[in-house]
Amino acid sequence: MKCSNGAVYKTGGLYIHIPFCIRKCRYCDFYSITDLSMIPDFIAALKQEIEMTQAPPIAFDTLFFGGGTPSVLDAADIGSIVETVLNRFQFNADIEISMEINPGTVDVHKLKALLTAGVNRITIGAQSFQESELALLGRIHTAADSVSAIRGARRAGFDNIGIDLIYGTPGQSKTGLIRDLEMAVSFEPAHLSCYMLTYEPGTLIDEMRRRGDIEPLGESDAAALFELAGEYTASRGYIHYEISNFATSDAYKSRHNSKYWSFAPYIGLGPAAHSFIEPVRYWNHGFLKAYINSILQKKRPIEQREIIDREKRLLEAIYLGLRTSRGVEFDEFERMCGLSFTKRFHDLIHELAENGFASLSKDRFALTLKGMLFHEAVVDRFFYRLPEI
């Protein structure tokens, strides 16, 4: 879309953070609280934030409800939030409205009501189909709840269904992961997300690790599971389009998340939500009370802003680009960063390609499955060369 200032923007994404969970999972470091009595105040504040947010000069083609657990909200509340944003901002007709669903919070009636409210893509956080792993992760639901949510979503009429899994739990074997993947794929989801369990500081699972109550998988076992997830999903026809994400076709890739990986503009609403309108990134207060107080004082709840200058853009373009199968596109990189990727990193990209960590074609450089396994280490090698730029 061509704006009045002459800048040309791609379509944008709108993100809404719902900061409530029924109980905190042991591995989670996302912002959420378990005091559900604050939901009405939050919804009132969110609607005010929507009204006080300046509509950017772009049309949105995605609306994403993330959290927290968006599905703790009633479908009627989701419907009224959808209506408020559709009235406030400009959207494309083919908008993707996604929502993360916790299997412990829905039944077929609620799923039908969410579809009626406008949600047309859901990702169901099954995480595992093994009860012992669900208990270790501290999930509120059973494997049977996940199966019933997935079947309920189909019965409700959802076509675009994703299933999220977590793997690499202590003691998980290849057979255990295959069992989970086979179960997930048996429902023919359009999308799969498979996240390696990480031990983030401050989480309960990290405390358990430090106390010696659990023993994380060794590096080579974790690496074997990462490769297995990539190979298994490929053998079942899924496109591995981002380190942790797989889709049955281009049409079912997460349109919203793809914006984060490609510098498209996005607005985030709700506590802790981030926004990016080139060249500024800003984010909201991370605590619900601070967020609500700011809005009650008629102030936008922005906590901080940063300018994404050339150096930050360069770092992010490499870091994010190499997470995706699309990789770093040379023309786009040069346009965004004012630097020739192939000239600046000539030796490094050839070395990585020759050793099977990457594929190199005339227009792009992308990591292979083996390269994605070492994504952080590979990215560091690019970053070490940046001071010379």
Check binding of 146 to ligand SF4 (CB under 6 A): no
Comparing CB distances to ligand SF4, the nearer of 10 and 24 is: 24
Comparing CB distances to ligand SF4, the nearer of 11 and 69 is: 69
Q: How many residues bind ligand SF4 (CB under 6 A)?
A: 10
Comparing CB distances to ligand SF4, the nearer of 125 and 301 is: 125
Using CB under 6 A as the binding rule, the residues of this chain from 321 to 360 that contact ligand SF4 are: none
Using CB under 6 A as the binding rule, the residues of this chain from 38 to 67 that contact ligand SF4 are: 67
Check binding of 25 to ligand SF4 (CB under 6 A): yes
Comparing CB distances to ligand SF4, the nearer of 65 and 365 is: 65
Neighbours of 43 (CB within 10 A): 18
Neighbours of 92 (CB within 10 A): 11
Q: Which residues pair with 246 in a beta bridge?
A: 192, 240
Neighbours of 204 (CB within 10 A): 14
Using CB under 6 A as the binding rule, the residues of this chain from 102 to 141 that contact ligand SF4 are: 102
Taking the complex as a whole, how short is the minimal distance between the CB of residue 229 and ligand SF4, in angstroms?
19
* Binding piece for ligand SF4, criterion CB under 6 A, among 25-33, 36-44, 200-208, 304-312: 25-33
Look at strands 245-247 and 191-196 and give their pairing. antiparallel
Comparing CB distances to ligand SF4, the nearer of 73 and 367 is: 73
Comparing CB distances to ligand SF4, the nearer of 142 and 368 is: 142
Angle at which helix 174-186 crosses helix 219-235, to 10 degrees, equals: 30
Using CB under 6 A as the binding rule, the residues of this chain from 70 to 99 that contact ligand SF4 are: none
Check binding of 197 to ligand SF4 (CB under 6 A): no
Taking the complex as a whole, how short is the minimal distance between the CB of residue 271 and ligand SF4, in angstroms?
13
Contacting residue, 28, 38, 178, 353, with ligand SF4 by CB under 6 A: 28
Please give the Cα distance from 59 to 273 (Å, whole number): 19
Q: Structure tokens of 374?
A: 């070492």
* Binding piece for ligand SF4, criterion CB under 6 A, among 23-31, 152-160, 182-190, 373-381: 23-31
Beta strands across the sheet bearing 280-284: 239-242, 245-247, 191-196, 160-167, 121-127, 91-101, 60-67, 12-18, 266-269, 274-277, 280-284, 302-307
Check binding of 21 to ligand SF4 (CB under 6 A): yes
Contacting residue, 9, 10, 24, 204, with ligand SF4 by CB under 6 A: 24
Comparing CB distances to ligand SF4, the nearer of 21 and 50 is: 21
Asked if 385 contacts 348 with a C-beta cutoff of 8 angstroms, the reply is: yes
Q: Structure tokens of 357?
A: 């960590």
Comparing CB distances to ligand SF4, the nearer of 72 and 349 is: 72
Check binding of 162 to ligand SF4 (CB under 6 A): no
Check binding of 374 to ligand SF4 (CB under 6 A): no
* Residue 148, C-beta contacts closer than 8 angstroms, at least 6 positions apart: 103, 107
Contacting residue, 68, 70, 216, 268, with ligand SF4 by CB under 6 A: 68
Three-class DSSP category at 318: helix
Q: Structure tokens of 318?
A: 């490499």
Q: Structure tokens of 224?
A: 């074997």
Q: In 37-159, at which residue ranges do the beta strands (DSSP E only) sit?
A: 60-67, 91-101, 121-127
Backbone angles phi, psi at 210, to 5 degrees: -65, -35
Q: How many helices (H) and strands (E) in the chain? A: 16, 15
Contacting residue, 9, 30, 199, 330, with ligand SF4 by CB under 6 A: 30
Asked if 17 contacts 66 with a C-beta cutoff of 8 angstroms, the reply is: yes
Comparing CB distances to ligand SF4, the nearer of 141 and 364 is: 141
Check binding of 69 to ligand SF4 (CB under 6 A): yes
What residue ranges bind ligand SF4 (CB under 6 A)? 21, 24-25, 28, 30, 32, 67-69, 102
